[in-house]
Amino acid sequence: MSSGSKTTLSVIKADIGSLAGHHKVHPDTMLAASRVLAEGKNSGIIIDYYVTHVGDDLQLIMTHRRGPNDSKVHELAWNAFREATKVAKELGLYAAGQDLLSDSFSGNVRGLGPGVAELEFIERPSEPITIFMADKTEPSAFNLPLYKIFADPFNTAGLVIDPKLHAGFVFTVLDVYEGRAVDMRTPEELYDLLALIGTTSRYVVKYVHRKDGEPAAVVSSERLNLIAGKYIGKDDPVMIVRAQSGFPALGEILEAFAFPHLVAGWMRGSHAGPLMPVGQKDAKMTRFDGPPRVLGLGFNIKDGRLVGPTDLFDDVAFDEARRLAQEITEYMRRHGPFMPHRLGPEEMEYTTLPDVLKKLESRFRPFDLGYKPIIRHEELLEAGGGSG
Ligand code: 13P
Ligand code: 13P
Ligand code: MG
Ligand code: MG
């Protein structure tokens, strides 16, 4: 799918194993992935690349001229993950190969486990872009920030005062359970949009476009739990957002992350917690395998070359957001196994509930005003309960 003068930015990520638990990527696995991408650059498949990580997720940032869903680019990413997995296995890293669900590559990494966000565009004279990578959460974690960036005038001043933003944007909303999507215009359909994307367990903002068709943002939307039919790892998401001249300013994009909103994920992919914006040095998961974190990198793209990055949340201006996230962490944690800290049964990635219910099935009795609890130990045993 080659497209001439257009540049494609591909961010492809996978958890291929990590140090000391679901904590952080080991540098040797990043090195192994970088070697493969360097070969891809030498052979002309990609123009440039940058390898990084957030928590236990290895991130491949690549530029090329081949368009989204290109089999050569996807194969390159796949090989990088395979080589990194080999190292992860040698080092005995935890959950080595976690997100590589298949042994064979079939032309596209979608459906094989890795998360993919790709954006194709004609480079502006200066092309500032931002990449957001989150761990211990899911793609719909970006619903709220995307709403703020592209539709909330209290976040993005440009929606009101910049003639180039004033017309608004088009959101493509994916229904992950039905595998269908709907395009919604803002500001015209704001309330309908919010009715959908507030339901983060089902609706994911996949793309945002300007009304003249220019692509503005894309989010990875692979859902590992649905792909594999069972829990393998939360589908930690990535997002690309273009900035400045005709798009929200860099600071308007970052402003959306100053509020550490609650997202699903965290420990065992089964808890709600605040999304904490962090710099690269804090892009590791600790407390209760979290709290969920988002790393932001800024680049300029020039003739396909990645200039940068700058570590966007590594700044005192986000200290307050982090402090608030700590406070929310403390508050949510105190709920222990109770909802809404623990997710509802339909969203939990780990659960013993069916087994517990099965065990208790024979002991459930009709309840009415005459109900008498079984208190005595012998009777409890007779009813099938209490083992000692
Ligand atoms: P541009 O219109 O060049 O994107 O500038 C807007 C801006 O930087 C406001 O902070
Ligand atoms: P990852 O999806 O990041 O591997 O995390 C899994 C988990 O269970 C964390 O507690
Ligand atoms: Mg992991
Ligand atoms: Mg992860």
Which residue's CA is minimally distant from atom 3 of ligand 1?
245
- Look at 77 and 101; give whichever has higher pLDDT: 77
d(CA 205, CA 196): 10
| Owner of token pair 């039919």 | 229
Report residue 341 CA to chain centroid gap: 19
Which residue's CA is minimally distant from atom 7 of ligand 1?
249
Q: What is the pLDDT at residue 227?
A: 64
Determine the distance separating the centroid of ligand 4 and the alpha carbon of 54, expressed in angstroms: 8
Distances 127 to 122, 199, 302 between C-alpha atoms, Å: 9, 33, 7
371-383 per-position pLDDT tens digit: 999 989 888 888 8
Contacts of 49 (CB under 8 A, 6+ apart): 34, 37, 38, 40, 41, 60, 61, 62, 63, 306
Determine the distance separating the centroid of ligand 1 and the alpha carbon of 245, expressed in angstroms: 6
Can 103 be counted among the known catalytic residues? Answer: no
The CB-side HSE value for 169 (13 A sphere, CA atoms) comes to 29
Q: What is the pLDDT at residue 264?
A: 96
Nearest to residue 69, comparing CAs of 2, 139, 140? 2
pTM of the model: 0.94
Does residue 161 surpass a pLDDT of 90?
Answer: yes
Q: What percent of the chain has pLDDT over 70?
A: 95
Examine residue 309 and say whether the peptide bond preceding it is cis (omega within 30 degrees of 0). yes
Contacts of 382 (CB under 8 A, 6+ apart): none
Beta-carbon neighbours within 5 Å of ion ligand 4:
15, 56-57, 135, 236
Can 350 be counted among the known catalytic residues? Answer: no
Does residue 12 surpass a pLDDT of 70?
Answer: yes
